[in-house]
Structure 1
Amino acid sequence: MSGQAVGQFRKVVNRRPQDGGALANLGAALFACNAFDEAATVLSQACERGARTAETLNSLGLVEMALGDLRAACETLQEALQLRPSDGRIANSLGTVLMEIGRLEEAEALFGAIVMRESGEEADRARFNRAIILLGQGRFAEGWRDFESRRSLLRVVSDVPHWDGSAGEEPVAVVGEQGLGDEVQFLRFLTEAAKRRPLRLRFRAAALADLMPELDQGRILPADGPVAAEVSLLSLPAVLGMDDVPSTEPYLAVSEKPEVVRIGVCWSGNPSYRFDRRRSVPVECLEALRQVNGVRFVALQRGDVPDWMEQVPLETPVDLAREVGRCALVISVDTLVAHMAGALGRALWLLNREGGDWRWKDVDWYGDVRQFRPPSGVAVAAGWEAVLREVAEALSLRV
């Protein structure tokens, strides 16, 4: 639909190139298609041609955030909110970028104000955004409660009741949502859930449960079959009342042993993620690693890889677990591979974007993690070049 909208709005702009409103519509459609560079140009033109409205500025601010220009995004969204102070959508956008640049108190206050005055989707979005701050700070009792607002945002519908965490012998289905990295991170909570109910695992990474030594495998039933209730894997901390700081001990185990010179590398995540441009590393930046002697680099992602890296079969999450298990060190952006390394207890060097996700903030979810971040305020590509040079230097010292 967004692609069709781009085509239609482009026709309008071709007929009326000085029409700021037409340009604003085209820019918003381009943003929806992740065409960020053109969207930035078109939205800037819209502002210059009479459409410097709160709506246009909100779109432009989100584009600037996707492109990694967080300071510009903050200024743009502040202007948008000044034009329309009661707009919950714009306030949520501004709060998100405030989180990214570390102004957490301001962001939390903004989200709290939205929750107080709004209802419906924007209030749920503000609760979810606030949860990101709370969980990153280890304020779990409040954080997990607000984190459940994502169920409304995702419009979760089920034919069976939502499990409330109560004990019994009637089976509960555990389902997945969001990315595979989320599933791997939250696998740890299956151990406690299985103590309370027999479980039927109905999520993509369910096969990894076989690799959990602390999980009572007798409580894991076949995926198909009747259940009394259902729960998302990501809702387990909330329904189980898991308010304590998580253990950093590994919870997955494979028979493969680390090979001293084997270094696993993952430089990109799902390209459909709106802010993947800030998360993933341009492949040419990896050349800095190539100069390090005495190691073997293994690509821990599918698709095209540099010819100086080994490729391995990665058809399933279990395949990935076994390949990660053979690595003495994993160098990865914030994606499934990073969580797999942590869950297996392998050393992880995380290539973390500016701002970063709540999982890598004040609370340690895994035991052996070193973070490398781009310098603040630089262009995305230049930032990753600096990061990979730093990683290469650190790796040379390690070997």
Structure 2
Amino acid sequence: MTSRTIEALTAEAMGMLASGRRNEALIRLRQTAGQPGDDQARYAAGEALLRASECREGWDLYDLHPSRPVDTLPSVARWDGQHCRQLVVVAEQGFGDALQFLRFMPAATAHADNVVFAVHDELLDVLRDAPALAGVTVLSKSAASVLEWPTDARWERLMSLPARLPGLAAAPVEAYIAAPIPRRCGDASQTVVGVAWRSTPRRGFPNRSFPARLCHRLTRLAGVQVVAIQRSRDIRSLPAGVHDPGIVDFTETAQVIAGCDVIVTADTVTAHLAPALGVPTMVCLRREPDWRWGTPTYPTSWYASARLLFQPAPERWSPVLQEAAACIADGTLPTSSFTPPPGAPR
């Protein structure tokens, strides 16, 4: 079987999946597994298999994705899945990826005497006390890169844990990041809605942002205060009726999110940080989103307090924001597991 055949099977399966024929798509995609072909084609088949299987199959092929130098520990041997004395798990790719796959860290602790988690420097303060990292040494990636590790240490990518540890899969979990003291941007009589409309552009990927002007769907709601869940320096033009709380870093982002009653967000880091904190979240997605969210017919649920809102057709964002506004207006929000710290204002 050639890589061209793998690509053809993957494309055929994606067409089946888009039309709701998931069982047929899975049959096609399973035919690609273990077949010879270049890594790029096999990796694409892995992504498609993850999408179709609600992230229960395809991790071995997804593990073919290349590592950036910053996401590796070149001086340390890579982990083979066997018990070791020290395991260093390195957060990779974007901030949202790190937050999303953090849920799998507890599974790694049973496979090493000592587990270290090296996370993006920007996320260190937010994750230092995360319940999911209990018993794990947490340090920044910049610090990990200059340490002299013992010869029996092993390293692994965070997003490769499901490929190394059978049984790990997507599931709608409760909050697993410690909620900070909330910073509330509205009075007790208002419903505070945080909105993140901008997603960082990624080369080779469709734009995941929704138009900022559609925030008017939220700002027109009675009794609602809408605040921007984005760093002030990243806001090119503040939509009318949206309050800028002056966010500088991820610590302040988490504080403002914790002070909101609900979050409406594009597929960006907020789509992971908010529900991982347990705040009710509505994730606004393209008709064909990133593999981790599945499809409108067969969505993949990662968070107990998140609801996925898909475009009804490509590039149609207005109905998505209209649905989010309707959910806020009638109070049909995702279940929240958020518990403010004792004595915190809410």
Aligned to 2:306, which of 369, 376, 399? 369
Q: Superposed, which structure 2 residues align to 1:300-319 within 5 Å?
A: 300-301=229-230, 302-304=234-236, 305-319=238-252
Contact 1:124 / 1:150 at 8 angstroms: preserved in 2? no
Q: Residue 168 of structure 2 aligns with which residue? A: 243
Relative distance call for 1:132 and 1:295 in structure 2 (3 A) is same
Q: Residue 163 of structure 1 aligns with which residue? A: 79
Relative distance call for 1:268 and 1:95 in structure 2 (3 A) is farther
Q: Distance in 2 between matches of 1:153 and 1:175?
A: 11
Relative distance call for 1:118 and 1:164 in structure 2 (3 A) is closer
Question: Pairwise CA RMSD of aligned residues?
Answer: 3.4
TM-score (norm: length of structure 2): 0.75
Gaps of 5+ in 1: 1-83
Matched, 1:232 2:165: no
Kindly provide the amino acid, as one letter, of the partner of residue 226 in structure 2: F
Q: Residue 321 of structure 2 aligns with which residue? A: 388
Q: Residue 90 of structure 2 aligns with which residue? A: 175
Q: Residue 258 of structure 2 aligns with which residue? A: 325
Kindly provide the amino acid, as one letter, of the partner of residue 192 in structure 2: R
Task: Give the C-alpha shift of residue 271 in structure 1.
Answer: 2.1
Paired positions, count: 307
Q: Residue 103 of structure 2 aligns with which residue? A: 188
Contact 1:258 / 1:328 at 8 angstroms: preserved in 2? no
Q: Residue 201 of structure 1 aligns with which residue? A: 118
Relative distance call for 1:312 and 1:100 in structure 2 (3 A) is farther
Gaps of 5+ in 2: 185-189, 333-346
Q: Residue 342 of structure 2 aligns with which residue? A: none
Aligned to 1:121, which of 39, 62, 83? 39
Q: Distance in 2 between matches of 1:125 and 1:232?
A: 16
Contact 2:89 / 2:115 at 8 angstroms: preserved in 1? no
Contact 2:131 / 2:177 at 8 angstroms: preserved in 1? yes
Relative distance call for 1:159 and 1:179 in structure 2 (3 A) is same
Task: Give the C-alpha shift of residue 251 in structure 1.
Answer: 0.5
Q: Residue 343 of structure 2 aligns with which residue? A: none
TM-score (norm: length of structure 1): 0.66
Task: Give the C-alpha shift of residue 117 in structure 1.
Answer: 5.4
Q: Distance in 1 between matches of 2:14 and 2:28?
A: 10
Aligned to 2:196, which of 261, 266, 276? 266
Task: Give the C-alpha shift of residue 179 in structure 1.
Answer: 2.0
Task: Give the C-alpha shift of residue 321 in structure 1.
Answer: 1.6
Task: Give the C-alpha shift of residue 115 in structure 1.
Answer: 4.8
Larger strand proportion of the pair: 2
Q: Superposed, which structure 2 residues align to 1:103-114 within 5 Å?
A: 103-114=21-32
Q: Residue 64 of structure 2 aligns with which residue? A: 149
Q: Residue 289 of structure 1 aligns with which residue? A: 218
> Which structure is larger by alpha-carbon Rg, 1 or 2?
1
> What SS class does the counterpart of residue 327 from structure 2 fall into?
helix
Deviation per CA, 1:208-239, whole angstroms, max 9, x where unpaired?
32131352356346634233221111112332
Q: Residue 351 of structure 1 aligns with which residue? A: 284
Deviation per CA, 1:40-79, whole angstroms, max 9, x where unpaired?
xxxxxxxxxxxxxxxxxxxxxxxxxxxxxxxxxxxxxxxx
> What SS class does the counterpart of residue 281 from structure 2 fall into?
strand
Q: Residue 252 of structure 1 aligns with which residue? A: 177
Larger helix proportion of the pair: 1
